[in-house]
Amino acid sequence: MALAVLVASIGAHETPLFLLLLFPIVLHAHYKKFHPFLMAAILLSGIASFGYFSSLLNEIEKPAVLPGFYAWTADYKINGDLVKGFMKDENGRKVYVKYQLRSEQEKRRFEEMPLAGRKFLIDGEWEEPKRPHHAYSFDMNDYLKSHGAMGIVKVESMQYVGSAGSLHQFINQMRFSLEKHIEETFPSSLAPEAEALLIGLQEDVEDETKRAYQKLGITHLFAISGLHIAVLSWIVFESLIRLRIRRELAAILLMSLLPGYAILAGGAPSVWRAVAVAELLMISRWKRRLAVDDALAISFIGFVLLEPWAIYQIGFQLSFLATAGLVYSSNFLQTQKSWWAKSFYVTFFSQIIVYPLLLYHFYELSISSLFANLIYVPLFSFAILPTNIVLLFLSFLPDPVSRCFFELYEPLRMMIAKMTFFLQSLPYQLWMPGKPSLLLMGICYISIFIALYLLDCRANWRAVVPVLCIPLLLLYFQGKVNPHLVINFVDVGQGDCIVIELPYRRKVYVIDSGGVLRFGQEEWKQREPFEVGKQIVVPFLKGKGISKIDVFILSHADSDHVEGAEEILEEIRAEEIHVSPSSLSEPVMKELLDVAKKQRVPIKEQIAGYSWKDGDVYFQYLWPQDAEYEGNNDSLVLYMKKGGFDAMFTGDLEAEGERKLIALYPTLPELDLLKAGHHGSRTSSSEEFVERFRPALTIFSAGENNRFGHPHKEVVERFHQYGLKTMTTGDAGTIEITVKNQTMRVTSSNKQE
């Protein structure tokens, strides 16, 4: 029945054709000799759920009223001078709002009160979600869809009118007060972890710590889930028993407290799933014991009926799938006698069942995850989590008492933190085969189900391992079978980034890293910086399955070409870096130098005349000619040739450099592909240059609606006068060019040509 509800939800969101999947579910029930009444109930539950979900989604699509009364949910964030998050209208429909704070005093007022449940009269205008930069980057449309939101409102005015006064708001007020209490009483080194483990707030956890946990595959320990609910329930239940409260009454009190704690902890899918299963199992003890898989299915049905869009949330998918994997492996787990064997298989089953989903969403897997979980799960279960719960209660005692316990625990926790950072620093922690296709996802899950069936039948591991390895080999080779040259102009906004993949991906070259020009602001207005390398380029490389850059070429020392380089190097290994002569002394290159030195990546200054050949692909630097760095006209200009295909990548070369380049290389052929200099500004792509090389296709790397007006209209018209085609990343998104013999196949993330 849970599967029928899942199919109905997907059908309501995508297409009613998904309802055809109800028939295989019913046929399976028939094979299992279900009663005809139950089979009919499964079919009818799917059809009825589809009707209900469709009506719910139709309500969301109706336009909302502006101005209107909206109340904040608990899902919001204050970032510099911007407040953003979800609000609900008077009919309970969600919108995503963005409000720019007017003053430091207004920001302080917003920070000093819990917004959840507070109602405002807002006015503004609807804003179209920004398109994703490429197929592997964050998609705002998908984010809105996964939260059941109508759209984005850019708020112009926001006037407080009161609060809902509900129990839900009261609990959110408690959560806010608890957050402030932890910040004030816990040492600064311990407070972020306590907030994450106890009330589900991860905003204050440092990015370095989050990334360390990701590399080790133990991020789930920061998310409140079944583990936390089980530990907390045991502590509360045993405490009530020690207070001489009867077991039945203790169970009733615990059941009453758990939903409140789910709200207090932020109401994530993993929390509600764990709470719902625990509640159902406790209820079943009074009459008829409920099977764990039935409890899980009922909690799933309830969650999806309340929020059908939750099926698109990654946390929801991982939480229910991992739990289902453990539930249906319970017979095998019960046969394991030793504690270590049972721990190993619990970790193995929960990891193996979700790995295709992790690859689909994050494009990487932690190789050390199995080992790390064997250490950290018991450590968190029996030490760190209980200690944080005890410390929270002690923090309400007079300061000298609580400080004594903090001083005992903090050094021990810092030792664990050092161990964590050491383990994550070990090389080859991550496997990055790229985003699997839906077909490969299907193959992965078929192999997983076969492997689990074989284990359940007590088959030898020699039969299980090959079954699991076949899809892993397919994943590994999926990006290495293309026999053609592939060039991607990544949409990094107002900047350059080009990724060149040689045939069969025998080598990868990256030209520039993108970046953001940063301007000074008052301290209270400063937002978390947008990191182009980390948030756009790295997901692109990982999504493509690129884990190593053979040559990282930085054309010149401008922020929009190199500012994201160190962020890329921290995630993707580079063999060597090429830079323009004398550009390393520029301030913008400092962070790159620090990271390259730490990772022992050689940096080579290149000059006109240096050339090399890789298979049938020829490369040569055409510019600059001297070792004195003076800016744009000292950009590294790279010429590439493969058979009859000729391409040139010019960095920010301007008209003066173009004229000298023409004079220096009179025999160069006309081009098939040109990366235009300086984003298509008036100072580049001179008529003499365009007429000389007549590129069949010219790419302008420029941001959408950028403040500089790149590419300039007269420059674009200059190419068009000669009948030459141009494309701009700001319009087309990421542009991919596949070179097949003498032809170019051009696709983009916005359209296909």
Mean of all residue pLDDT scores within the chain? 91
Domain membership flag for residue 523 = no
CB atoms within 10 A of CB 168: 16
Which of 268, 65, 74, 57 minimizes the C-alpha distance to 170?
74
Bridge partners for 486 per DSSP: 501, 738
Bridge partners for 174 per DSSP: none
Distances (CA, A) of 207 to 202, 203, 316: 10, 9, 23
Q: Please indicate, yes or no, whether residues 48 and 95 belong to a single structural domain of this protein.
A: no
Q: Please indicate, yes or no, whether residues 285 and 329 belong to a single structural domain of this protein.
A: yes
Domain membership flag for residue 413 = yes
Q: How far apart are CA 265 and CA 223, in angstroms?
A: 10
Rg, Å, the chain Cα set:
29
Domain membership flag for residue 364 = yes
**In this model, does residue 519 exceed pLDDT 60?**
yes
Q: Please indicate, yes or no, whether residues 281 and 419 belong to a single structural domain of this protein.
A: yes
The H or E element that residue 651 is part of is none
Contacts of 539 (CB under 8 A, 6+ apart): 134, 136, 137, 138, 363
Q: Please indicate, yes or no, whether residues 216 and 360 belong to a single structural domain of this protein.
A: yes
Burial class (CB in 10 A: 0-12, 13-18, 19+), 162: exposed
pLDDT at 469: 94
Average pLDDT of 103-131? 92
Report pLDDT digits (tens) over 538-576: 999 999 999 999 999 999 999 999 999 999 999 999 999
Residues 15, 47, 308: CA angle, nearest 5 degrees:
65
- If one counts the domains in the chain, the total is 5
- Cα torsion through 306, 309, 291, 259, rounded to 10: -50
CA atoms within a 13 Å half-sphere pointing along the CA-CB vector of 379 = 16
Structure tokens at 678: 């300086």
Confidence of residue 752 (pLDDT cuts 50, 70, 90): very low
Question: Crossing angle for the helix pair 399-425 and 207-216, nearest 10 degrees?
Answer: 50
pLDDT at 269: 77
CB 266 within 8 A of CB 200: yes
Domain membership flag for residue 526 = no
Which of 689, 692, 687, 713 minimizes the C-alpha distance to 700?
713
Domain membership flag for residue 525 = no
Bridge partners for 70 per DSSP: 89, 120
**Length of the chain measured in residues:** 753
SS (H, E, C) 243-277: CCCCHHHHHHHHHHHHHHHHHHCCCCHHHHHHHHH
Domain membership flag for residue 622 = yes
Q: How far apart are CA 416 and CA 422, in angstroms?
A: 10
Of 165, 184, 204, the one marking the end of a domain is 165
Distances (CA, A) of 98 to 112, 524, 530: 19, 17, 16
Average pLDDT of 208-235? 85
Average pLDDT of 245-264? 85
Of 61, 85, 102, the one marking the end of a domain is 61
Domain membership flag for residue 212 = yes
Of 16, 46, 61, the one marking the end of a domain is 61
Q: Please indicate, yes or no, whether residues 380 and 462 belong to a single structural domain of this protein.
A: no
Structure tokens at 657: 């450099």
64: region left, alpha or beta (phi > 0 left; psi from -120 to 50 alpha)? beta
Which of 646, 645, 647, 649 minimizes the C-alpha distance to 635?
649
Q: Please indicate, yes or no, whether residues 740 and 721 belong to a single structural domain of this protein.
A: yes
Distances (CA, A) of 512 to 278, 447, 543, 684: 52, 40, 18, 18
What is the pTM for the complete model shown?
0.92
Rounded to the nearest angstrom, the gap between the alpha carbon of residue 664 and the centroid of all alpha carbons in its chain is 47
The enclosing domain of 510 has a CATH number of: 3.60.15.10
Distances (CA, A) of 67 to 91, 124, 153, 156: 14, 7, 11, 10
Q: Please indicate, yes or no, whether residues 17 and 136 belong to a single structural domain of this protein.
A: no
Q: Please indicate, yes or no, whether residues 283 and 312 belong to a single structural domain of this protein.
A: yes
Residue 237: φ, ψ to 5°:
-65, -45
Average pLDDT of 466-484? 94
Q: Please indicate, yes or no, whether residues 473 and 498 belong to a single structural domain of this protein.
A: no
The enclosing domain of 96 has a CATH number of: 2.40.50
pLDDT at 751: 66
pLDDT at 20: 94
Q: Please indicate, yes or no, whether residues 199 and 100 belong to a single structural domain of this protein.
A: no
Report pLDDT digits (tens) over 167-197: 778 888 888 999 999 999 999 999 999 999 8
Domain membership flag for residue 426 = yes
Residue 310: φ, ψ to 5°:
-65, -20
Q: What share of the chain is helix, strand, coil (3-state, %, to 5)?
A: 50, 15, 30
Q: Please indicate, yes or no, whether residues 375 and 356 belong to a single structural domain of this protein.
A: yes
Q: How far apart are CA 709 and CA 458, in angstroms?
A: 67
- Of 135-139, 443-447, 514-518, which gets the smallest average pLDDT? 514-518
Q: Please indicate, yes or no, whether residues 429 and 470 belong to a single structural domain of this protein.
A: no
Q: How far apart are CA 500 and CA 487, in angstroms?
A: 5
Domain that holds residue 149: 68-165
Q: pLDDT above 90 covers what percent of the chain?
A: 68
Instruction: Write the DSSP assignment of 576-636 as a string of letters.
Output: -EEE-TTGGGSGGGHHHHHHHHHHT--EEE--TT-EEEETTEEEEEEE--SS---SGGG--
Report pLDDT digits (tens) over 324-352: 888 888 888 888 888 888 888 888 898 99
Burial class (CB in 10 A: 0-12, 13-18, 19+), 460: exposed
